Chain A
Amino acid sequence: MFETGRICMKTAGREAGKYCVVVNKIDKEFVLITGPKIVTNVRRRKCNVKHLEPIPLKIAISKNASDEEIIKAFEKEGVYSKLKLKKPTAEEIKLAKEAEEKRKKKEEQKGTEEKTKEKKGKPEIEKRTAEKKPKKKTEQKKPKEKKAPKKSATKKLKK
């Protein structure tokens, strides 16, 4: 039922109530989707099959197709009029491409920075445990020696 090219609507999450297209199958439960982001504001990510509701509409695309090919296939089948969606202009498609490439570069840079930070963090923890000095044992107090009781002077007087 959920094949490549099937159009569905999301029923759960922050993107609920929006249309999307199935691009690839991952598992029994999971599926890769996009609505192209320009058209429906749904990102390219995996989704559970239980959170999707299929529609009697289908388009012809290949596996792991890009957003541009999906937009061309939308025009052929006349999806914009049936689902009441806006057609994106050529300028918007260009801007979206450039923004995606920028985002991918930033993610790669962040990934390398995180790896260097992890290495610095580990030796610091090991140093701290070695610097701890063992606690000194306190010397046991010697018990006080009991003094012999003094003889009272009054007893002598009584005699």
Chain B
Amino acid sequence: MPKPSQRTSVKKVKVKVPSGTLKTYLRKKRNKPAVCGVCGKPLSGVPNLNALKMRTIAKTKKRPERPFGGNLCSSCMRNKIKRRLFESFS
């Protein structure tokens, strides 16, 4: 058990030990994967890392190289561009 002044958001897991007692272990937190802004499907090309690593790796390794790269999935992006075309020419 950590000190009351050092309680961070932590996942507690109860495990039965071979001697027969119950012990609580503290596990680290993991992020959820990134998701498309329109349809809600998980995105490809975006790694699922913690905050420290996302700060240190290069910018081109965090998103795909196309418009709306880390925001929308490929099919939602195509629909958006087609709709822009039709509205401008109608």
Contacts of B84 in A (CB 8 A): 17
Would you call A16 and B66 a contact (CB within 8 A)?
A: yes
Q: Scan A2-37; emit 1 where CB is below 8 A from any B CB, else 0.
A: 000000010111101100000000000000000000
Chain A binding surface SS class: loop
A53 to B66, CA, bound (A): 17
A70 to B37, CA, bound (A): 39
B67 at the binding interface (Cβ < 8 Å)? yes
A-B contacts counted at CB < 8 A amount to: 25
Would you call B81 and A17 a contact (CB within 8 A)?
A: yes
A12 to B79, CA, bound (A): 10
Interface residues of B in 53-90 (CB under 8 A from A): 65-67, 74, 77-78, 81-82, 84-85, 89
Would you call B78 and A12 a contact (CB within 8 A)?
A: yes
Query: How many residues belonging to A are interface residues under a CB distance threshold of 8 Å?
Result: 10
A56 to B85, CA, bound (A): 11
**Nearest CB of B to A25, in Å:** 23
**Nearest CB of A to B10, in Å:** 42
**Nearest CB of A to B84, in Å:** 8
Would you call A53 and B89 a contact (CB within 8 A)?
A: no
The answer, among A11, A55, A56, for a CB contact under 8 Å with B81, is A11
A11 to B84, CA, bound (A): 11
Contacts of A55 in B (CB 8 A): 85, 89
Contacts of B74 in A (CB 8 A): 12
Contacts of A17 in B (CB 8 A): 67, 81, 84
Interface residues of B in 19-59 (CB under 8 A from A): none
Q: Scan A40-73; emit 1 where CB is below 8 A from any B CB, else 0.
A: 0000000000000101100000000000000000
Interface residues of A (CB under 8 A from B): 9, 11-14, 16-17, 53, 55-56
Interface residues of B (CB under 8 A from A): 65-67, 74, 77-78, 81-82, 84-85, 89
Query: Can you pick out 14 interface pairs between chain A and chain B where the beta carbons lie within 8 Å of each other?
Result: A9-B81, A11-B78, A12-B66, A12-B74, A12-B78, A13-B66, A16-B67, A16-B77, A16-B78, A16-B81, A17-B67, A17-B81, A17-B84, A53-B82
